[in-house]
Every structure is written in C-alpha cells, then in structure tokens.
Structure 1
Amino acid sequence: MNLFADIRTLVLDSLATLAAQGTLPPGMDLGNVTVEPPRDPAHGDMATNAAMVLAKPAGKKPREIADALAALLASDARIASAEVAGPGFLNLRLAPGVWTSVIPAALAAGADFGRSAMGGGLKVNVEYVSANPTGPLHVGHTRGAVFGDALAALLDFAGYAVTREYYVNDGGAQVDVLARSAYERYREANGLEPKIADGLYPGDYLVPVGQALKDKYGDSLIDRPEEDWLEDIRLFATEAMMDMIRADLAALGVTMDSFFSEKSLYGTGRIEAALADLESKGLIYEGVLEPPKGKTPEDWEPREQTLFRSTLHGDDVDRPVKKSDGAWTYFAPDIAYHYDKVTRGFDLLIDVFGADHGGYVKRMKAAVSALSGGRVPLDVKLCQLVKLYKNGEPFKMSKRAGTFVTLRDVIDEVGPDVTRFTMLTRKNDAALDFDFAKALEQSKDNPVFYVQYAHARVHSVMARAAEAGIPTDAQAIAGADLSLLADAAEQGLAAKLAEWPRIVEAAAGAHEPHRIAFYLYDLASDLHGLWNRGTDDPSLRFVQESNIPASLARLALIRAVAVVIAAGLGILGVTPVQEMR
C-alpha cells in the first residue's frame, strides 16, 4: 500500500478526465507530476505540482488548471478538501481514516511493507569496498562498505536484482610490495631481523602471514633471489589478505556475491577485447595529449600513446590506455572490468569510490557509455572522509595496521550496529565526524539509540499490555477500531507511517540510503513524542486497562511503527532490538 502513489494515480486519472473534457490538450506528458508532503504541514496532507508543470505545455494559467483539477479531486471520498494556493499549487487534505488505513496494511505485510516493484527486476551491479588486498580495511573503507551494502539492500527492497561485487586490485605493483613485505615477516619468523624499508607495509598484520609462510616453506626461501619467491609469496599473501578482508566485512555484516580479480584480466585477452570493442567504434587512436593544467610546454614531454576518445562521451580530455612503452595504463584494466560488467547483462552499474577517486568519475562514465552504446548508465558514488573523535577530541586508537585505524578497531569500540547506522547519518558525499562517545550516548542526540529505543519501547508497551490483561495477539490487534485514533499526534504518526513506501522509492531512485536513516529518526521522534503526550494526558496513554478498545487501536498503531522500524533497520543492516541494555 502506497498512499502517495494512490493519490498520484487519482491526480493522473483526473487530468485524463480534464483532457477528455477538452479542458486540457490530449497526450500531455505527465511524468513530472508529483504528489508529495507539503513543505509546511499547515498547508495540508499532500500537495501536487500538476497545474504548475502543465500550464506552459497546455497554454493555460496554472490557477485555471488547478481550479478544474481541485473540483474533480474533491469528489473522491479520500479527499476532504482540495485548495488552490498561490499561483496554482494544489494542497490536499485527506478524509478521516485515510491515514490510519495504512496500519492494517503494515501489520498484514509485516517485513514486506513498503517493498516496491519499481526496479522491475532490472539487473544492478553495485561495486563497493574494492580495497587493495594489501592489508586490513581501514575506517574509510568502512564507510564505503556500509554505504554500498545499504544501497544494495535498498535497491533489492525496491525491486531490483542486485549483485554485490568486490573488485580485487591484485594486478598492480602494490601486490609486489605486499609480497616483499610478507617476505620480511617470513624472515622474521625464521629468527632474522626484518628489513622494513621505506615503501613496504609495516603493519603487524603481516606477522601471522610470515609465520604461515615459514610453516609452508621452512627456511628454504631464506637468502634466495627475489625471482625465486616473488610470484609464490605474492599469491600466498594476497589470498591471506583477502581472507582477512572477508573476515572484516563479515564482522560488519557485509557479504559479497562476487569477488572479481583484476589479475584475471591480464594475459587472457580480456583487456585487448575491451579495447577492440572501442576501436571498432572509432574511439581508439594514436595521439599526443596536451600538457596537463599547470604544466607549460617546456615542462611537458609530448609522447605518442594509445588514447581513448573519451571526450566524445562527456570527458574533459581523451585518456591514455597504453603507454608509449607498450604497457597498459591503470585505466585499461578498469575499462576491461566494466566491459565485463556490460557483457554480463547488467542494466545499471554503480561504483562506490573513496573521495580520492573523484578524478576517475568522468572517464569511467565515458568508458561505460562507449562500451554499452549508451544503454547502461553508470552512477559513481563518492564517500567522503571520516574523522574520528571521542568526547569532541580527535581520537587515535591502536594501529595494528601500522599507518591507519582499522575497521576492526571501530567495531571493537562501538559494535557493528552502531558503526553501520552512524556511517549513514550523513549523505555519502558529505564529510562525517564519528564521535565514539556520542555514538554510544543514550540520548535523543544519538540517532542510533533513539531509533533502537523506539523499537524497544514498542515491545515494552506490548509486554505491559499483556500483563494488564489486554490481548496483544495479531487477531485482536487486527480487529482494533482505528477510528479511535483521533488525536492529532496519533494521526500524525499514522501519516508518517504512510510515507514509508514513498521514502523507499525516493531513496532507491536517488541511490541515497541515508534517507532511510533520516526517516527512521523522524518516525522514532514521532513515536516518542506521542509517548510523552501520554505522560501529560493519561487519556492518550498506550495501555489503558479501563479502555480496551482505545488500547487495541494504539497497540495496532505502535506495532505498525515497529514493523517499519525493523524493515528500515534491515535495509541499513542494523539489528532491531527488543530491549535496551
């Protein structure tokens, strides 16, 4: 049940009637007609922009359309009033009982309430984390992991067929550095002093890898030339790091559907195939690039390279795919990887990158546009930095990684649920301040606690009702007389519940899972507000032994709230609690 979609359908049907009557021209594009909550709740329950967006193509004044539309809408039993405001905005007030009709729908659907078919089963690949397999995940990866995982769950809830994918960057020079670093820990395991030179990875996380190498090879690799051991140790260490990364992700509640190896693209013809596809479209050529911004011709050595004509697909400059010495650029395997995604039949690609990858957005969008002939859109979501604090002061924890704070450090400090919710309290492209003390604070200022407390409070009320002899089974609550929910705060809470299906679709359409966290906080706030009103006015209390019908109606209302909170937290990957500890 989606009340906003239902009323939008009513508006569209009414516009079709006006067209049939000759008030509006036939065949008008109604795609931009919306029905949403008004910015000021005093203006009504819902508002539509129909008259404003149709005035110009219809060749009429907005108010003229709004007046005609209002007359039709007011004849529907669900509409108490339709009022034209300003130049042609149309504000709607719903009839009593419309908002509360969402309660039985939520209770009947349970965890599926708000689930949408808007995705139509379209195949979406969400690539996220994709950290180099050279060490444990750090706090920056944590934000990308939470964001990507919540976005994937949101899209799944909205009817898309989602694949969660990790791109393993195991084909570059960094894995050689990893192998050399692991070799020093192998020497250490054999009783020798490790030589952690500049440029190697110094973290203690490689100590167990060194010991495992000793268990496998004994001392047979000691003082052997690098070419004798580099490839074997590179593979061994990479697999060990990926095992660590999988364990880190599991601790955060993240499970990938697919791990795609960059290395699998080299020496297999897959890079060549992707570039051949672009070349067949006239997009690969030999040329010389202009000097980058800030460099003068005197500082720039022009050299002929193999270039991708990415400017034909929205990029600022053409991009090299092969160096003058014949080696691939970093961009070439990325093109091949996205070519593989396109050939796997995905309808939409989403890449979740760190803030330092901003310069990669246009070139990757250009590549996907060219490879798919414009059929497959690519949305790149950048996750900004996370700054760690405790009690308002910059906070540094033990760094077993050697140079950064790990995902495990964060989880050990506050737990996975708090970590995930807190990471979604800001939009992905806004910097995030993560204060460990505030994340554990039990107050309204802590959204994690506030939402969890609302869910736990509902369960507490249900237990208290049962103790008072009020039936709390599903059948009794389903038969509640919801017309008894007449107080403005009760109606307001029901109206907030009715927004849930619309929020799901809006958040999924914008690829913004933080909207779910924001909505849950508002819903929890409305529930707590209604509870507080009961403190001042006993007639509004949820449990009233002397008024069983009113109690059942309120129990139905708050149980529906718990249903939505649980569904929303499920999308965010957070466990709804039944009691606060």
Structure 2
Amino acid sequence: MNLFADIRDVILNCLDQLVAEGVLPGGLNTDPITAEPPRDPAHGDMATNAAMVLAKPAAMKPRDIADALAAKLTDDPRITSAEVAGPGFLNLRLAPSVWQGIAGAVLAEGTDFGRGSLGAGRRVNVEYVSANPTGPLHVGHTRGAVFGDALASLLDFAGFDVTREYYINDGGAQVDVLARSVYLRYLEAHGQEVAFPDGTYPGDYLIAVGEALKAKVGDAYLDKGEQFWLEDVRNFATDAMMDLIRADLKSLGVEMDVFYSEKSLYGTGRIEAALEDLKGKGLIYEGVLEPPKGKKPEDWEPREQTLFRSTEHGDDVDRPVMKSDGGWTYFAPDIAYHYDKVQRGFDLLIDVFGADHGGYVKRMKAAVSALSGGKVPLDIKLTQLVKLFKNGEPFKMSKRAGTFVTLRDVVDQVGPDVTRFVMLTRKNDAMLDFDFDKVLEQSRENPVFYVQYAHARVSSVLRKAAEAGMTLDDAALAQADLTLLDHEAEIALLRKIGEWPRLVEIAARTNEPHRVAFYLYELAGEFHGLWNRGNEVPSLRFLQEDNPKATMAKIALARSAAIVIAAGLGILGVTPAQEMR
C-alpha cells in the first residue's frame, strides 16, 4: 500500500475526466505530476503540482486548472478538501479514516509493508568494498561496506534482483609486494631478524600468515630467490588476506554473493575480448594524447599508445588501454571486468568507490556506455572519508595494521549495529565524523539510540499488555477499532508511517540509503512525541486501564510504528532493540 501513489492515481483519473469534458486538451504528459507531503504540515496532508505542470502545455492559467481539479478531487470520499494556494498549487486534506487505515495495512503486511515494484525484477549488480587484498579493512572501507550493503538491501526491498559483488584486486603489483612482505614474516617465523623496506606491509596481521606459511612449507623457501617462491606465496597470501577480509565483513554483517578475481582476467582472453568489442565499434585506435593539464609542453614526451575513444561517450579525454611497452594499463582490466558484468545480463550496474576514485567516474561510465551500446546504466557512488573522534578530539587507536585503524577496531568498540547506523547518518559523498562517545550516548542527539529506544518502548508496551493477559499478535491487533485513533498526535504518527512506501521508492530511485536512516529518526520523533504527550494527557497512553478497546487500538498504532522501524533497520542491516541496556 502506497497512499501517495494511490492519491496520485486519483489525481490522474480526475484529469482524465477533465480531458473527457473538454476542460483540458488531450495528449498532456502527466509523468511529472506528484502527490507528496507539503513543506508545511499546516497546509494539509498532501500537495500536488498538477496545475503548475500542465499549465504551459495546456495553454491555460495554473489557477484555472487547479480550481477545476479541486472540484473533481473532493468527489472522492478519501479527500475532504482541496485548497488552491498561490499561483496554482493544490493542498489536499484526507479523511481521518484514510490515516487510521494505515495501521491496519501495516499489521496485515508486516515488515513487507512498503515493499515496492519499482525494480520490477530487473537485475542490478552492486559492487562495493573491493579493497586490495593486502590487509584488513580500514575505517574508510567500513563506510563503503555499510553504504553498499544498505543500498543492495534497499534495492531488493524496492523489487530489484540484486547481486552483491566484491572485485578482488589481485592482478596488480601490490600483490607481489604482499607476497614479499609475507616472505619476510616467514623468515621471521624461522627465527631470522628482518627489516621491512619502504613500500612493504609491516602490519602485525601478517605475523600469523608468515607462521602459517612456515607450517605449510617448512624450510622449503629459505635462502631461495623469489623466482622459486613468489607465485606460490602470492597465492597463499592473497587467500589468507581474503579470509581475513571475509571475517571482517562478517563481523559487520556483510555477506557477498560473488567474489570476482581480477587475476582471472589475465591470460584468459577476457581483456582482449572486451577491447575487441570496442574496436569493432571503432572506439580503439593508435594515437598520441595531449599533454596533461599543468604540464609544460617541454616536459611532455608524446608517445603513441593504444587508446579508447572515451570522449565519444562523455569522457573529457580519450584513455590509454595499453602502455607503450605492450603491457595493459590499470584501465584495461577494469573495462574487461565491466564487460563481463554486461555479458552476465545485468540491467543496471552500481559501483561504490572511495572518494579518491573521483577521477575514475567518467571513464568507467564511458566504458560501460560503449560496451552496452548505452543500454546498461552505470551509477558510481563515492563515499567520503570518516574522521574518528573521542571526547571531541581526533582519536587514533592502536594500529594492529601498522598504518591505519581497522574495521574490526571500530566494530569491537561500538558493535556492528551502531557502526552501521552511524555510517548512514550522512549522505555518502559528505564527510562523516564518528565520535566514539556520542554514538553510545543515550540521548535524542544520538540517532541510533533514539530510533532503537522507540522500538524498545513498543516492545515494553507489548510485554506489559501480555502480562495483563491481553492477546496481542498482529492478527488480533488488526481487528482493533482504529477509528479510536483520532487525536492529532496519533494522526501525525500515522501520517509519518504512511510516508514509508514513498520514502522507499525515492531512496531506491536515487540510490540513497541514508534517506532511510533520516526517515527512521523522524518516525521515532513522532512516536516519542506521542509517548511524552501521554504523560500529560492520560487518554493518549498506550495502556488504558478498564478500556480494552482503546488499548487495542493504541497498541495497534504503536506496533505498526515498530514494524516500520524494524523494516527500515533491516534495510540498514541493524537489529531492532527489544530493550535498552
């Protein structure tokens, strides 16, 4: 049930009637017409831009359209008034029974309330984290992991067929550096003193890997040149790091459907096949690039390279795919990887990158556009940095990784639920301050606590009602007399609950799961507001002594709020609290 979509359908039906009566011309585009909450709740329950949208194509004054539409809308029993405002906006007020029915719909549908058909089963690939397999995940990866996972859950809730994917960057030189670093730990495990040269990975997390390598091969690699051990140690170390990364992700509640190896692209013809596809479209050529910005011409050495004509698909400059020495550029396997995604039949691709990959956005979009003939959209979401604080000061924990704060450090400090929710309290491309004291604070200023406390309060009400001998499963609550929910504070909470399906659709259209966190905070605010009003107005309390009918209705309202909170937290990957500790 999406009440806003339902009222929009009523508006479109009324417009069809006006066309049939000759008031409006036919053939008008009604796609931009909306039914949404007004900016000021005092103006009504919903507002529509129909008259403003249709005025120019209909060659009519917006107010004339609004007046005619208002007269039609009030014929619907759900709409008690339609008021024209300003040049032609329409503010609608709905009958209380419409909002009261929201609680019944939520109780009937459970946490499926708000599930949409926007995706219509279309296949979407969400690639996120994709960290180099050279160590444990750090706090920056944490934000990307949470964002990507919540986005995947949101799209699933909105009706898409979602694949969660991790791209293992195991084909580059950094994996050789990892192998050499593990070899040093292997020597250390044999009692040798070692020094880590600049550019290697000195983190303590490789101690156990070196010891495991010793346990596997004994002294077979001692005093041997790397031509004898590099490939084996590289594979061993990569597997060990991916086991560590999987464990890190699991601690955060993240599980991938696919782990895709970059190494699988090399020597298999996949890179060549992708570039051949582009070549067949006239998009691969031999040429010389212009000097990069900021370089003086005398410092620039032009050389002929194999280039992708990415400017034909929206990029600023064409991009090299092969170096002058015949080796692939970093871009070439990325093209092949996305070619594989297109070949797998996805209807939509989403990549979640760190903020440092901003310069990669246009070239990747150009590649996917070229490879798919413009049929498969690619949306790239950049996640900004996370700054850690304690007591209001920048905070650095002991760095087991050697150079950075790990995902596991954060989760061990505050738990996965708090970590995930806080990471979604800002839009992905905005900087995020993570204060270890504030995220555990029990106050309204802490959104995690505020939302969880609302759910816990409902659980407390249900427990007390059960202790009083009331049967309160959702089926029983759905039979309550919801017309008893007639106070303005109760209707306000019902209005906010009724916004949930619309919010899901908007968040899924824009690929913005942070909207869910914001909405839950607002919903919790309405619930706590009603709870606090009950301290002053006894008739608003959820448990009404000697009035079981009113109690059933009020608990039905509370339970419907809890169901939506649970559904929203489920999208964010957060477990709803039954009680606060």
What secondary structure, in the 3-state scheme, does the structure 2 residue paired with 1:97 have? Answer: helix
Kindly indicate whether the alpha-carbon contact (under 8 Å) linking 2:108 and 2:474 is maintained by their aligned counterparts in 1: no
Deviation of 1:224 after TM superposition, in Å, equals 0.4
Q: Matches of 1:16 and 1:235 in 2, distance apart?
A: 66
Aligned runs of 1:314-333 on 2, under 5 Å?
314-333=314-333
Kindly indicate whether the alpha-carbon contact (under 8 Å) linking 2:10 and 2:73 is maintained by their aligned counterparts in 1: yes
Q: Which residue of 1 aligns with 2:201?
A: 201
Deviation of 1:537 after TM superposition, in Å, equals 1.1
Deviation of 1:472 after TM superposition, in Å, equals 2.2
Q: Which residue of 1 aligns with 2:557?
A: 557
Q: Which residue of 2 aligns with 1:394?
A: 394
Q: Matches of 2:510 and 2:142 in 1, distance apart?
A: 22
What secondary structure, in the 3-state scheme, does the structure 2 residue paired with 1:301 have? Answer: coil
Q: Matches of 2:448 and 2:475 in 1, distance apart?
A: 32
Q: Matches of 1:337 and 1:201 in 2, distance apart?
A: 27
Q: Matches of 1:368 and 1:504 in 2, distance apart?
A: 27
Aligned runs of 1:404-415 on 2, under 5 Å?
404-415=404-415
Structure 2, unmatched stretches of 5+, are none
Amino acid corresponding to residue 462 of structure 2 in structure 1: M
Aligned runs of 1:195-344 on 2, under 5 Å?
195-344=195-344
Deviation of 1:475 after TM superposition, in Å, equals 4.2
Q: Tell me, yes or no, if structure 1 residue 433 matches structure 2 residue 440.
A: no
Q: Which residue of 1 aligns with 2:131?
A: 131
Q: Which residue of 1 aligns with 2:96?
A: 96
Write out per-residue CA displacement over residues 285-341 of structure 1, whole angstroms, 9 at most, x where no aligned residue: 111011111011111111100010100100000000011111110000000000000
Q: Matches of 2:233 and 2:25 in 1, distance apart?
A: 72
Kindly indicate whether the alpha-carbon contact (under 8 Å) linking 1:33 and 1:48 is maintained by their aligned counterparts in 2: yes
Amino acid corresponding to residue 509 of structure 1 in structure 2: R
Kindly indicate whether the alpha-carbon contact (under 8 Å) linking 2:107 and 2:475 is maintained by their aligned counterparts in 1: no
Kindly indicate whether the alpha-carbon contact (under 8 Å) linking 1:112 and 1:567 is maintained by their aligned counterparts in 2: yes
Write out per-residue CA displacement over residues 338-391 of structure 1, whole angstroms, 9 at most, x where no aligned residue: 000000000000000000000000000000000000000000000000000012
Structure 1, unmatched stretches of 5+, are none
Q: Tell me, yes or no, if structure 1 residue 173 matches structure 2 residue 173.
A: yes
Aligned runs of 1:358-507 on 2, under 5 Å?
358-507=358-507
Q: Matches of 2:87 and 2:413 in 1, distance apart?
A: 55
Q: Matches of 2:107 and 2:96 in 1, distance apart?
A: 20
Q: Which residue of 1 aligns with 2:79?
A: 79
Judged with a 3 Å threshold, the aligned counterparts in structure 2 of structure 1 residues 473 and 273 are, in CA distance, closer, same or farther, namely: closer
Q: Matches of 1:486 and 1:353 in 2, distance apart?
A: 48
Deviation of 1:101 after TM superposition, in Å, equals 0.5
Q: Which residue of 2 aligns with 1:50?
A: 50
Question: TM-score normalised to the size of structure 2?
Answer: 0.99
Kindly indicate whether the alpha-carbon contact (under 8 Å) linking 2:284 and 2:307 is maintained by their aligned counterparts in 1: yes
Deviation of 1:471 after TM superposition, in Å, equals 3.8
Q: Which residue of 1 aligns with 2:162?
A: 162
Deviates more, 1:366-375 or 1:459-468: 459-468
Q: Matches of 1:39 and 1:31 in 2, distance apart?
A: 21
Q: Matches of 1:308 and 1:524 in 2, distance apart?
A: 51
Q: Matches of 2:475 and 2:130 in 1, distance apart?
A: 48
Deviation of 1:482 after TM superposition, in Å, equals 1.0
- Point out 4+ residue stretches in structure 1 off by more than 4 angstroms: none
Write out per-residue CA displacement over residues 15-65 of structure 1, whole angstroms, 9 at most, x where no aligned residue: 111111122221211111111000010111000011111111111111111
Kindly indicate whether the alpha-carbon contact (under 8 Å) linking 1:100 and 1:495 is maintained by their aligned counterparts in 2: no
Write out per-residue CA displacement over residues 134-188 of structure 1, whole angstroms, 9 at most, x where no aligned residue: 0000000000000000000000000000000000000000000000000000000
Amino acid corresponding to residue 398 of structure 1 in structure 2: S
Amino acid corresponding to residue 22 of structure 2 in structure 1: G
Aligned runs of 1:99-118 on 2, under 5 Å?
99-118=99-118
Q: Matches of 1:296 and 1:16 in 2, distance apart?
A: 64
Amino acid corresponding to residue 51 of structure 1 in structure 2: A
Q: Which residue of 2 aligns with 1:357?
A: 357
Write out per-residue CA displacement over residues 253-302 of structure 1, whole angstroms, 9 at most, x where no aligned residue: 00000000000001111001000100111111111011111011111111
Q: Which residue of 2 aligns with 1:535?
A: 535
Q: Which residue of 2 aligns with 1:570?
A: 570
Kindly indicate whether the alpha-carbon contact (under 8 Å) linking 1:147 and 1:423 is maintained by their aligned counterparts in 2: yes
Amino acid corresponding to residue 449 of structure 1 in structure 2: F
Kindly indicate whether the alpha-carbon contact (under 8 Å) linking 1:52 and 1:89 is maintained by their aligned counterparts in 2: yes
Q: Matches of 1:3 and 1:397 in 2, distance apart?
A: 48
Write out per-residue CA displacement over residues 4-24 of structure 1, whole angstroms, 9 at most, x where no aligned residue: 010011011111111111222
Kindly indicate whether the alpha-carbon contact (under 8 Å) linking 2:140 and 2:386 is maintained by their aligned counterparts in 1: yes
Write out per-residue CA displacement over residues 228-256 of structure 1, whole angstroms, 9 at most, x where no aligned residue: 11000000000000000000000000000
Q: Matches of 1:433 and 1:23 in 2, distance apart?
A: 55
Kindly indicate whether the alpha-carbon contact (under 8 Å) linking 1:414 and 1:436 is maintained by their aligned counterparts in 2: yes
Amino acid corresponding to residue 532 of structure 1 in structure 2: N
Deviation of 1:453 after TM superposition, in Å, equals 0.7
Kindly indicate whether the alpha-carbon contact (under 8 Å) linking 2:108 and 2:475 is maintained by their aligned counterparts in 1: no
Q: Matches of 1:489 and 1:147 in 2, distance apart?
A: 33
Amino acid corresponding to residue 166 of structure 2 in structure 1: Y
